[in-house]
């Protein structure tokens, strides 16, 4: 039975890493080692882990060098032929290793396997959101798809140690996207396997995770991502078409543009999207769908996020090629208001249900033809008014 080396980098997460390690100890695949690389923590991580786990884990401390250096240290210490990565604030489901080991055993030509992801809050409670990765419809991901954007969460990956060593591990020069850079290089060795089920829990808003967007961060991420694309050009020459490489660059500028829109920096967003249009005009073919997707994505990543205001900002200051399509924004706002109305109605928040549904109808009058929408407007208004007067449990 294959030995799996589980590499867990950590920094000042004494309150969270216990759940991560316990999820490894609960694995149905019994043959593993746990390597915790403490990247310069100043809390009581070391003491807590030594007292709780003793010799069941290998704890290594190093001066702070960043996550890439910590993971590379773990790979260097690994004894197993397979290496799994687990961030210290994430959690595995019990069959994660067993199922992934079986998948790699069945596909000897694949360098790694990953899975879908359940989203949980900072306290580990499941969020009512679709798992990450459900948009991937095949059981393999080829180099072209990986190069165009990161679709893999680090804590889902089980890789062959020989493959990691052959491509050089993580690049410590990269702060944003170091895992994506590694997946691109691994994808040159063979298709990456996907288990189409959620076997990892990804914690949102955990301690130390900054979800506050800023133009400065967007620009730093863009610089790192463009560096990743450029550094891999010699490796990918002849493997990918110029069109694919142009799309990859367009996606990176677009990501930065969306962040700029989300914080109100519309001039910079428009400049980024002008570059997107020059690189890949087809990016704007389904623009309304892309706006909707980013509105929901930011909603997952940020507390107190208002996707409707984001859509309004985008369509008030659209990318230059789309000035003639501002009406799309009204329709999309109507869709989001209506979604909020449905959610409020199910939660028996009658006042919010009525006003949100009404605003949806104001943005897109087509909704008024829907009998379900008509019923929500009438019933929520009646229950809201009746509840205000009667204050009864049936209404409030």
- Quick one: pLDDT at residue 326? 65
Q: How many other C-beta atoms are found inside a 10 Å radius of the C-beta of residue 17?
A: 25
Helices and strands (H and E) in the chain: how many: 16, 9
In whole angstroms, give the CA distance from residue 342 to residue 381: 14
Q: Which of 182, 52, 43, 175 is nearest to 34 (CA)?
A: 52
Q: What is the pLDDT of residue 99?
A: 97
Burial (Cβ within 10 Å: 0-12, 13-18, ≥19) of residue 362: middle
Q: How far is CA 122 from CA 90, 95, 126, 221, in A?
A: 10, 23, 10, 24
pTM comes to 0.84
- Tell me how many degrees the CA angle 177-180-183 measures, rounded to the nearest 5: 155
Q: What is the largest CA-CA distance in the chain?
A: 73
DSSP code of residue 240: B
Distance (Å, rounded) from C-alpha 396 to C-alpha 385?
10
The reported pLDDT for the residue numbered 396 is 46
Q: Which residues pair with 33 in a beta bridge?
A: 5
Residue 166 confidence (pLDDT): 96
Query: Mean pLDDT for each 10-residue chunk of the chain (396 residues)?
Result: 94 94 97 97 94 96 95 97 96 97 94 94 81 80 92 96 96 95 96 95 67 84 96 92 94 94 92 94 86 81 77 85 71 86 91 91 89 91 80 51
**pLDDT number for residue 329:** 78
Q: What is the pLDDT of residue 212?
A: 63
**Can you give the pLDDT at residue 324?**
62
Give the per-residue pLDDT at 25: 98
């Amino acid at each position: 039975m294959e030995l799996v080396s589980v590499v867990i980098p950590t920094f000042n997460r004494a309150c969270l890493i216990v759940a991560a390690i316990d999820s490894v100890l609960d694995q149905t695949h019994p043959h593993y080692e746990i390597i915790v690389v403490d990247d310069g923590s100043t809390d009581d991580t070391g003491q807590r882990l030594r007292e709780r786990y003793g010799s069941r884990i290998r704890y290594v401390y190093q001066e702070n060098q960043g996550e890439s250096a910590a993971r590379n240290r773990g790979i260097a210490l690994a004894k197993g032929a397979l290496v799994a990565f687990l961030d210290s604030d994430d959690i595995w489901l019990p069959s994660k290793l067993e199922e992934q080991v079986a998948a790699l055993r069945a596909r000897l030509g694949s360098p790694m396997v990953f899975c879908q992801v359940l989203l949980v809050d900072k306290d580990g409670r499941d969020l009512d959101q679709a798992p990450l990765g459900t948009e991937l419809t095949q059981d393999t991901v080829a180099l072209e798809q990986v190069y165009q954007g990161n679709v893999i969460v680090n804590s889902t990956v089980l890789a062959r140690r020989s493959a990691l060593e052959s491509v050089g591990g993580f690049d410590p020069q990269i702060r944003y996207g170091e895992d994506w850079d590694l997946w691109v290089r691994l994808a040159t060795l063979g298709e990456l396997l996907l288990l189409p089920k959620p076997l990892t829990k990804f914690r949102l808003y955990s301690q130390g995770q900054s979800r506050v967007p800023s133009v400065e961060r967007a620009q730093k991420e863009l610089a790192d991502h463009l560096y990743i694309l450029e550094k891999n050009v010699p490796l990918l020459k002849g493997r990918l078409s110029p069109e694919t490489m142009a799309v990859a660059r367009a996606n990176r500028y677009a990501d930065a543009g969306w962040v700029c829109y989300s914080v109100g920096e519309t001039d910079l967003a428009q400049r980024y999207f002008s570059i997107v249009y020059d690189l890949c005009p087809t990016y704007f073919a389904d623009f309304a769908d892309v706006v909707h997707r980013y509105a929901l994505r930011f909603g997952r990543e940020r507390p107190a996020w208002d996707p409707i205001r984001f859509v309004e900002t985008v369509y008030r200051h659209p990318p230059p090629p789309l000035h003639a399509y501002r009406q799309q924004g009204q329709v999309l706002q109507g869709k989001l208001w209506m979604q909020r109305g449905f959610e409020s109605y199910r939660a028996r928040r009658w006042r919010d249900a009525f006003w949100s549904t009404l605003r949806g109808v104001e943005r897109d009058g087509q909704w008024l033809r829907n009998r379900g929408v008509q019923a929500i407007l009438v019933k929520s208004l009646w229950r809201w008014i009746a509840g205000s007067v009667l204050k009864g449990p049936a209404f409030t």
